[in-house]
Amino acid sequence: MAEDEETGGAELSARAIAASTGELNALLGRGTRFEGKLTFEGRVRIDGHFVGEVFSEGVLVVGEEAELTVTALDVGTLIVRGGTIRGDITARVTVEVYAPSTVLGNISSPEVFIDKGVRFEGGVKMPTPDR
């Protein structure tokens, strides 16, 4: 990951940029609160508060002010751009966590990137990707 000279942080990967800036299927914006089970296709961004379960083959983007407390988070790709996640994470493709995010839980994914400056308390398991 290349270093951003202006901010001192890592630049977003091309995949993260495409995933986080592409067409969204749903958005839980700032100030929203949702409790329950979220299933979706495509791309979803959460900037509010979420408590519950998330299941998808798609891309979940967690925004800067988001706070997630999950009993299950099982997605294709997870990109955390500054929010907080409490609970274990499973991603079949990749997990990318950028500063100043907080992740309090275990991560299981074939690819994992954790930026300098991220608060991470948990373990990482990197299984062989499904083919």
**Token couple for 76:** 């294709």
In a domain, 60, yes or no: yes
pLDDT digit string (tens) for 40-59? 999 999 999 999 999 999 99
How much is the pTM? Answer: 0.83
What pLDDT digit, counting tens, does each position of 61-104 carry? 999 999 999 999 999 999 999 999 999 999 999 999 999 999 99
Instruction: State the total domains in the chain.
Output: 1
* 9: in domain: no
Q: Is the peptide bond before 110 cis (omega within 30 degrees of 0)?
A: no
Q: What angle do CA 45, 23, 46 make, to 5 degrees?
A: 5
Q: Which domain holds residue 38?
A: 14-125
